[in-house]
Amino acid sequence: MALKGMSAISPTPAAPAAAPAVASVIARHLRGVWRYLRMLGAAPEVADDLTQESFVVALQRGVLGLDPPALATFLRRTARFLFLRHLRDREEPDELADAVDELWQRDCAADDGDGLLAALRACVETLTGRARQAVARSYGLGADEPQRRDEIARELGMQPNGVKTLLQRVRQQLRACIERRNT
């Protein structure tokens, strides 16, 4: 995943020798912070911005030298704070954040969500027919942009409520598939 402007996160000019080490640390934690923000509900572009801001805070505080688990915790807490501040600025509710933290620790902390994402991809591959088409169109899988439910319904010869029901059933199917793979 390449975030827009991630090259803007660089060490201070006073420490050019540390640049490869900083870049390595950022590369190691980048996906995890971004995925964590998406789990919190951040839109992709918001997650891009807040991920960058989290690393800027870490650079400013000089914590990039922490051991990886401690740094990952610092970055997630910083990202969470920044996201909650982002929500407050828009007067949106923030009750979901605690539940996401718990879920992240349970399912994603060990590998920054790579295992969960691999399980999801494998489960999506098992879908067939309309279910697979509806998921691909609804979530913009591949090169396509996500489509609205009425557009998907038209393409699949269904009613919009039928697409909604199909997607609800498919989400349940995918959830069960992922749980089977992760146990």
Model confidence at 93: pLDDT above 60? no
CA atoms in the 13 A half-sphere facing the CB of 155: 16
Q: Which of 95, 101, 5 is nearest to 45 (CA)?
A: 5
pTM for the full model?
0.54
Q: Kindly list the domain boundaries of the chain, sorted by start residue.
A: 17-107, 114-181
pLDDT band at residue 18 under the 50/70/90 scheme? low
- Rounded to whole angstroms, the Cα distance separating 50 from 47 reads 5
pLDDT at 110 over 60: yes
**CA atoms of 101 and 124, how far apart (whole Å):** 25
Average pLDDT over residues 9-24: 58
Per residue in 144-169, pLDDT (tens digit) is 677 888 888 998 999 989 999 999 99
Most confident region among 20-24, 57-61, 94-98, 106-110 by mean pLDDT: 57-61
The Cα–Cα gap between 118 and 98 comes to: 24
Q: Would you identify the CATH topology of the domain 114-181? A: Arc Repressor Mutant, subunit A (1.10.10)
